[in-house]
DNA sequence: TTGACATACTCAACATGTTGAGTATACTTT
DNA sequence: AAAGTATACTCAACATGTTGAGTATGTCAA
């Protein structure tokens, strides 16, 4: 039910349309939560049925009408209840590590390619977060921004730890005994 | 389809029963992949239908019969195909960061409690991984172990980065402007 | 004027993951 | 002798996430 609560949290900050919420997921929340438009709209329907949010239809000049969603009193109660529940670390599912695990059965250059690919992705994300940090987080900000910064710091730490690991593994790989599995079919 | 390929990867290392595979997920893979028994058995059925694995029924003295699964030639082909595909970072979904994001609307001691709770979890996991590192990874190991160590290093890096972040945030929180939302219903 | 982009929302099918109950056997501990 | 633990597997319902198509309107630039 965590998606529901994430949407409630966004609506607690300020009312918004499904479109606005989707944008928030793409922008401010992207480093720790991703949700597609479809998920957001489906969830908003459910939340409306449960009475945790409601909406007013807002006609707009030059744009389609929008449904502006608000969190309700019941919704705030639910969010507060959720807030007191201890959270557990999210289960991770990393294919890359599965590839590393059987790396000794596969041609090593393939694994190194893959690691470099990931290294690139993580360094790009890191650069992006650092740019946001420099642009929006410098100097005195309001409380809302200060708390957003804490979440951004998590994104930075996450990408940094990936990058370091990639570098280390790429450096270590050539020194491990190579023993590709002769059983495996060769690539087309 | 990544669960399927993870199971194929385990069966490439050695044949095993559904039970064995579930145990592997709990033990060696736990720091980057979790799967329940139900998922494993369901997936093994699918893999069998697809011809990527097959099994022999092995009667055992003093234990129930088991189905010993093997990866097939087709399965190896599929695993190799998958191995060449670039992986993307797994989308993350972290409720804790959602809580931090709206932390300025909530009573601060509540958030600090939560952060300390997570700090404890991550330090326990870290200690666990370090123990495995000390016990099994020291000295000369075979290639298989060397590659497993690389994945363990990822687990260690991950938990370390969480721990550092928790500490930093706990230290920073008291210095941020506190402004709990008076609108929110008080807790029961 | 055509096409890309931003706003705004809906539907359907499918894949994947979670939760909980249920069926066995056998060994070990209390 | 009963309870707990480990081995070994199955079924069902539901929640959640993914993929892809479809419907609109209006702005801006090539």
For residues B13 and A106, is the Cβ–Cβ distance under 8 A? no
d(CA A6, CA A33): 9
d(CA A22, CA A29): 10
Nearest one of B5, B188, B135, B13 to B82, comparing CA atoms: B5
At B85 the pLDDT is 87
d(CA A103, CA B76): 14
At B8 the pLDDT is 93
Cβ neighbours of residue B103 under 8 Å, at least 6 residues apart?
A147, A150, B111, B173
- For B55-94, the pLDDT digits (tens) are 988 776 666 678 899 999 999 999 998 998 888 888 888 8
**pLDDT greater at residue B30 or residue A76:** A76
SS3 B135: helix
Residue A103 distance to chain B (closest CA, Å): 7
Residue A29: DSSP 8-state: T
Closest residue in chain A to residue B172, using alpha carbons only: A150
- For A66-123, the pLDDT digits (tens) are 889 999 999 999 999 899 888 888 888 888 999 999 999 999 999 999 999 999 999 9
Rounded to whole angstroms, the distance from the CA of residue A90 to the C1' of nucleotide C13 is 27
At A137 the pLDDT is 67
Residue A14's pLDDT band (cuts 50, 70, 90): very high
Mean pLDDT in residue range A36-49: 90
d(CA B10, CA B150): 16
- Whether the beta carbon of B62 falls within 7 A of nucleic chain C: the reply is yes
Residue B172: HSE in the Cβ half-sphere, 13 Å Cα cutoff:
18
At A176 the pLDDT is 82
Using the predicted structure, report yes or no on whether residue A54 has a pLDDT greater than 60.
yes
**pLDDT greater at residue B26 or residue A141:** B26
Using the predicted structure, report yes or no on whether residue B24 has a pLDDT greater than 80.
yes
CATH class of the A2-84 domain in this structure: mainly alpha
Residue B185's pLDDT band (cuts 50, 70, 90): low
For residues B156 and B126, is the Cβ–Cβ distance under 8 A? yes
DSSP-derived secondary structure for A89-121: PPPPB-HHHHHHHTGGGS-HHHHHHHHHHHHHH
Task: Specify burial of residue A85 (Cβ count, 10 A radius: 0-12, 13-18, 19+).
Answer: exposed
At B61 the pLDDT is 63
Residue A29's pLDDT band (cuts 50, 70, 90): confident
Chain D bases having any atom below 7 Å from a protein CB:
7-13, 15-21, 24-27
At B182 the pLDDT is 54
Closest residue in chain B to residue A171, using alpha carbons only: B150
- For B120-148, the pLDDT digits (tens) are 999 999 998 998 888 776 666 788 999 99
Residue B79 distance to chain A (closest CA, Å): 9
Give chain B's end-to-end CA distance (angstroms, integer).
Answer: 44
Mean pLDDT in residue range B97-106: 94
At B64 the pLDDT is 67
DSSP-derived secondary structure for A119-157: HHHHHHHHHHHHHHHHHHSSS---HHHHHHHHHHHHHHH
Mean pLDDT in residue range A55-60: 81
- Percent of chain A as helix, strand, coil, to the nearest 5: 65, 10, 25
Using the predicted structure, report yes or no on whether residue B111 has a pLDDT greater than 90.
yes
Average pLDDT for chain B: 86
- Say whether B157 and A154 touch across the interface (CB within 8 A): no
At B113 the pLDDT is 93
Average pLDDT for chain A: 87
In which region does residue B9 sit, left (phi positive, over 0), alpha (psi from -120 to 50) or beta (all else)? Answer: alpha
d(CA B185, CA B176): 23
Residue A59 distance to chain B (closest CA, Å): 28
Using the predicted structure, report yes or no on whether residue B26 has a pLDDT greater than 80.
yes
Using the predicted structure, report yes or no on whether residue B178 has a pLDDT greater than 60.
no
Of B12, B102, B162, the CB nearest to A9: B102
How far is CA B29 from its chain centroid?
6
d(CA B98, CA A159): 18
At A63 the pLDDT is 67
Element of type H or E holding A60: strand A53-60
At A188 the pLDDT is 44
**pLDDT greater at residue B105 or residue A132:** B105
Residue A140's pLDDT band (cuts 50, 70, 90): low
């Amino acid at each position: 039910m965590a998606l529901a609560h994430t949407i409630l949290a966004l609506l607690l900050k300020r009312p918004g349309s499904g479109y606005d919420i989707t944008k928030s997921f793409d922008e401010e929340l992207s480093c720790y939560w991703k949700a597609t438009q479809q998920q957001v709209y489906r969830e908003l329907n459910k939340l409306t049925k449960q009475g945790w949010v409601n909406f007013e239809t807002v006609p707009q000049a030059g744009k389609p009408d929008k449904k502006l969603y608000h969190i309700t009193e019941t919704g705030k109660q639910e969010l507060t209840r959720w807030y007191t529940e201890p959270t557990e670390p999210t289960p991770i599912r990393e294919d890359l590590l599965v590839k590393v695990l059987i790396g000794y059965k596969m041609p090593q250059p393939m694994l190194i390619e893959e690691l470099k690919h990931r290294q690139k992705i993580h360094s790009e994300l890191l650069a992006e977060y650092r740019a946001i940090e420099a642009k929006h987080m410098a100097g005195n900000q309001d409380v809302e921004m200060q708390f957003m910064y804490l979440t951004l710091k998590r994104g930075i730490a996450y990408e940094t730890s990936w990058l370091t690991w990639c570098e280390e593994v790429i450096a270590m790989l050539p020194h491990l005994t190579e023993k590709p599995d002769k059983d495996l079919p060769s690539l087309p």
